[in-house]
Amino acid sequence: MSARPGRFLEDFEVGATLRHATPRTVTTGDAALHTALTGSRFALHSADTFAQACGLPRSPVDDVLVFNIVFGKTVPDVSLNAIANLGYADGRFGAPVYPGDTLKAVSAVLGKRELSNGRAGVVWVRSTGTNQRGETVLDYVRWVMVAKRDAASAAPEPLAPDLPGAVDAASLSAPPGLALGGYDRTAAGDRRGWDDVAAGERIDHGDGMAIEEAEHQMATRLYQNTARVHFDLHRAPETRFGKRIVYGGHVIGLARALSFNGLANAFRVAGLNGGRHTAPTFAGDTIYAWSEILDKARLAVRDDAGAVRVRTVAARNRPCGDFPDRDGDGKDHPDKVLDLDYWVLMPRG
């Protein structure tokens, strides 16, 4: 008997609710370690004084750290036996997380279908993270390719959820109490805000960030993500790539940190429209990133901030001055590892 076998395709029941272990109290130590591992520099998450000048009690925890902690809770029940994490959609960040808040997560199984090879299938889940007051801090859909326990078992009735192409900007939220009259753009690192960016603009974020073996291992443990493909060096030679894979959420954290160059005033990640990991990343790879402004939207309840829809692409071992993306046949550039479409909030005026 395996103490923690994880779920195979046959074990997922559409409509089922998965309540995940273990509640996690987030600390300033977690926030500091996240900064050490990603290099994130967004001012609202870096200085209590900056956050207090914007009406908040202290610096909220970085949004990507919140995402990865909630994601990590779901791994033992959703993706321990995953072959690949295929994508994200329909995500919203809710109540801000502050040090001292305790997060827990639950997932609802939305759909599943078997692949044509009969050895694996795709499972869709909606995962929701809440704090100790029951407030939602994050809600999103992801889908994973999961192995079957027995290739000879009957195929399930195929069911795939109907997901929106993008989150409605009207449903995005800002932290309660946020008042940007005291927002200091010089301290934030850039003068450009919502009014200064335009749809169609592309930004090469310039810097590269190498991933050390110890760093990606530590980052994934920080998120309490237990997926074996990130850790088991002994069995790694038997896997498809022959070595450990860097957790994709850590790559998201690096890409978001790199996007500071050019988007320093994107002070909050508010929505997740879609995303996919287009190729694996390994220790020793250097991550570069570029972003495209896809859209802008005003917020119905306030005029000191607006929403900007951003697409960030990360590449491994390739500077992004030429904006590597897709070839003429629509295939992803071989060096591309991440394609993420999300809403951020930026100051106006």
CA gap 70, 313 in Å, rounded: 23
Under 8 Å CB-to-CB from 287, ≥6 apart: which residues?
208, 209, 210, 211, 251, 254, 255, 258, 281, 314, 315, 316, 337
Q: Is the pLDDT of residue 82 over 60?
A: yes
| Nearest CA among 95, 59, 84, 282 for reference residue 176 | 95
Tell me how many degrees the CA angle 296-251-58 measures, rounded to the nearest 5. 65
Torsion sign over Cα 249, 254, 259, 264: positive
Task: Find out whether 278 and 337 touch, Cβ atoms under 8 Å.
Answer: yes
Mean pLDDT, residues 66-93 taken together: 95
What is the token pair recorded at 72? 């990590």
Task: Find out whether 264 and 186 touch, Cβ atoms under 8 Å.
Answer: no
CA gap 147, 154 in Å, rounded: 14
Select from 3.10.129.10, 3.30.9.90, 3.20.140.10, 3.30.230.10 the CATH code of 9-150+188-347.
Answer: 3.10.129.10
What band does 183 get if pLDDT is binned at 50, 70 and 90? very high
Mean pLDDT, residues 1-25 taken together: 90
Q: What is the pLDDT of residues 98-150, one digit of tens each?
A: 999 999 999 999 999 999 999 999 999 999 999 999 999 999 999 999 999 99
What is the pTM for the complete model shown?
0.96
Q: What is the pLDDT of residues 148-180, one digit of tens each?
A: 999 989 999 999 999 999 999 999 999 999 999
Task: Find out whether 80 and 226 touch, Cβ atoms under 8 Å.
Answer: yes
Mean pLDDT, residues 293-305 taken together: 94
- pLDDT of res. 5: 80
Torsion sign over Cα 136, 142, 147, 149: positive
Q: Residue 231 class from Cβ within 10 Å (0-12 exposed, 13-18 middle, 19+ buried)?
A: middle
- pLDDT of res. 177: 95
What band does 188 get if pLDDT is binned at 50, 70 and 90? very high
What band does 2 get if pLDDT is binned at 50, 70 and 90? low
Ramachandran angles phi, psi of 261, nearest 5°:
-70, 95
CA gap 281, 278 in Å, rounded: 10
For the chain, give the percent of residues with pLDDT over 90. Answer: 89
- pLDDT of res. 349: 87
Mean pLDDT, residues 55-81 taken together: 96
For the chain, give the percent of residues with pLDDT over 70. Answer: 99
> Which residue in the block uniquely carries the two structure tokens 């994973």?
144
| Nearest CA among 330, 340, 339, 335 for reference residue 315 | 335
| Nearest CA among 323, 295, 326, 292 for reference residue 309 | 295
- pLDDT of res. 83: 87
